[in-house]
Chains A and B, each alone.
Chain A
Amino acid sequence: MISQIDRCLRACVHSAGLLIIGILTSTSLPAAEQVVEQNVLIREGFHSAFLEYFFPQTFFLKINETPSLTLIESLLIFAGVLLAMFGLWFLQKPKAGTQSGVGFQLLNLGERKPFIPLKSEIQTLEFLTQIQTSKKYRLSANLTRVTLTPHQNTFVLEDKNYKNALLINRRRSHRTVLCDNDVLDVGEMILLFRNHVVPAGTIHRPASKDLQLPIVGIIPKGPVHKMTPILTVSGSTQKIPLVRNLITIGSSNSNDIIVEGDEVALRHAKIYKVGASWKIQNLLIQETTTVNGRRIDQRFLQDGDEVTVGDIMFKFKSGKAQIKQTLKSKTETAKKI
């Protein structure tokens, strides 16, 4: 904007200068006008009266009868103009692949030296605080607890704190094997991981669709007991341990498990403990909760049951079954021996 104003001002100054020249040479102005009239409004011989009426020979630009350049010269200059155009085109060429090797690239706007090379040794992300940037960025607090470990041709990023506002590909992650074009958000700093040896997509990650489910489960404090049953969200690796005796499911924030779906009510269903087993109950008569494909009002849950709440499916896995299985396998191995 400022540059435009600057340019406009300059243009004004130039035109004012032109006017001043005109005033200073005002004595010669009428003479100049005469010359212009002679030059511009020359009437030459005409082909017919009709043509003279409709197309008087007052040329716009009245180029002299003998042009100031020869044909070859003018063609050469024209070629020069074309060359200059393609020179501009060439200048606009995006400067790709100037950096090689492993490192981070700063994606924040207006950074002069955006590439940060990485040494292949175990290091923490602490070095980000020492980088000279054009603007001061707020970074996550505990960068000393985020480590980069060399792993084959690339690095493993491990976040031991997990409370950091550190996102990998815009998602919170505990441990990630980095590959080319991964985007890291460290506080306000946006970094792009560069490694041509490991192109994007070579490292298997859980599909993005799985993580799309906006399900918030109960976060257990401390380790989960072996007996605790687990709800697994279908099509995802997310596991929700049932650490309380009464758990409600619904779309409202007051629920223990918050499920945002089109057909999920604010308070949809509850799962509660009855003796040693677990029971699910539908809380609204107009909403559907199914177990193994059957619409239910209330029902005891068994290991491996498929529970759907609205349009979201869970798989119920009781803690006991796990123990039984491990016992079975132990006895089987004992028998084999």
Chain B
Amino acid sequence: MKSTRSLHNAVLGLLGGLASWTLMQSGFHAFDALSVTGLSGLNIIWLNKFIFEGALVGLGLGMVLQARVSLWYHYELVHILSKMFIGAFIGAILGLICFSIGELLQVWLVLPALSRIASWTLLGLLLVGTTELFHSRSGFLRPRIISGGIGGAIGGGIFELLLLYQMTGPDHLLGLILVGFSISLFVGIIENRATSFAIRVVSGKQEGQIFLLDQNRFTLGYGSQNDFILKGYAEVCDLHANILKKGKEVIIENADEGGEVLVNYRLVDQQSMKKGDVIKIGTALLQYYEI
């Protein structure tokens, strides 16, 4: 299951790189069209090409990275689309910022290659960081952001190498794809390292779905702000239960007084779980196990 998720992440990274490349291609056509219309005022600085590039790269990568978790857990289409839009918007802004910083570094006479790698690293850090901003409760913020940075740095390094040996394909296609790939792969590796427990849905509409416990704190319920969303079950509250990881113990906690959490068919308020336990939340039956 874990390696499948790594693969999923890596493929999504590749797609993100490809998306940013195609966006860049179409963006330059749009840029040309704008310059033809004679809006020279816009043309001078804000639509200058490097800013454009940064925004488009950020847009493509951010769109994919933000929707990563929702795609993996097969949430509803509307949910994923909204995540993608938010990700694209924030990613575009971050791309602008990171690439501008890279340019400024060049002004301060840092080697062009180094400043490029620095801006890729920064982009990786910030992209993953903002993705996690929406999960600030998770308690797993720092390792993920750092892994995003490492991914960005390695991706940037590969990009430079490809540039040096002129193997980047048409218009840096290969380089962009590899940057996306390495960012999402590293985040995935860090997540997998932290995963040793999982919860499987055993009954009902979401049967067969596996929630991997890769953070220190999770929320469970039918609301779309939750980490694990249970849709299509009766008697499940908006925010029904919290799952906390303390050392080697995983604790389930009832979060709503109106709802009931049963572990092994016993009502609990707070209970540490062990392998094979059956959890009942509303009418949904879940099973807890170690990987």
Q: Which residues of A are interface residues toward B (Cβ below 8 A)?
A: 1, 3-4, 7, 15, 18, 21-22, 25, 29, 32-33, 35-36, 40-41, 47, 51, 53-61, 63-64, 67-71, 73-75, 77-78, 81-82, 84-85, 88-89, 92-97, 107, 109, 169-171, 180-181, 183, 190, 192, 200-201, 208-209, 212
Judge whether A169 and B265 touch: CB under 8 Å: yes
| Closest Cβ neighbor of A75 among chain B residues | B26
What residues on A are CB-neighbors of B161 within 8 Å?
A: 15, 18
Chain B positions 38 through 80: 1 when the CB is less than 8 Å from some CB of chain A, otherwise 0: 0000001100111001100100000010010001111001001
A64 to chain B, nearest CB (A): 6
What residues on B are CB-neighbors of A96 within 8 Å?
A: 204-208
What residues on B are CB-neighbors of A63 within 8 Å?
A: 24-25, 28, 49, 53, 171-172
| Extra A-B contacts (10), CB below 8 Å, given A33-B164, A61-B172 | A3-B2, A15-B158, A22-B164, A29-B164, A58-B112, A59-B53, A60-B103, A63-B49, A68-B25, A170-B278
What residues on B are CB-neighbors of A183 within 8 Å?
A: 278, 285
A180 to chain B, nearest CB (A): 8
Interface size class of B (residues with CB under 8 A): 35 or more
B46 to chain A, nearest CB (A): 11
B241 to chain A, nearest CB (A): 17
Q: Which of B96-135 contact A (CB under 8 A)?
A: 99, 102-104, 106-107, 112, 116, 119
Judge whether A35 and B166 touch: CB under 8 Å: yes
Judge whether B163 and A74 touch: CB under 8 Å: no
A41 to chain B, nearest CB (A): 7
Judge whether A68 and B170 touch: CB under 8 Å: yes
Given the interface pairs A3-B3, A200-B283, the reply to whether A67 lies near B204 with Cβ below 8 Å is no
Overall SS of chain B's interface: helix
B215 at interface by CB-CB < 8 Å: no
Judge whether B202 and A81 touch: CB under 8 Å: no
A251 to chain B, nearest CB (A): 19
CB-contact partner of B29 in A15, A70, A170, under 8 A: A70
Roughly how many angstroms separate A29 CA and B202 CA in the complex, as a whole number? Answer: 59
Chain B positions 177 through 213: 1 when the CB is less than 8 Å from some CB of chain A, otherwise 0: 0000000010001001000000001111111110000
Roughly how many angstroms separate A44 CA and B104 CA in the complex, as a whole number? Answer: 18
B147 to chain A, nearest CB (A): 13
Judge whether B265 and A92 touch: CB under 8 Å: no
List 24 A-B pairs, Cβ < 8 Å. Answer: A1-B192, A18-B161, A21-B165, A22-B165, A29-B164, A40-B112, A41-B112, A58-B112, A60-B116, A61-B24, A67-B25, A67-B171, A74-B25, A77-B22, A78-B26, A81-B19, A92-B8, A94-B201, A94-B207, A94-B208, A94-B209, A95-B207, A201-B283, A208-B266
B251 at interface by CB-CB < 8 Å: no
Judge whether B107 and A54 touch: CB under 8 Å: yes
B220 at interface by CB-CB < 8 Å: no
Question: Among the listed stretches B10-18, B138-146, B221-229, B242-250, which one makes contact with chain A, having 4 or more residues with CB under 8 Å of it?
Answer: B10-18
A145 to chain B, nearest CB (A): 24
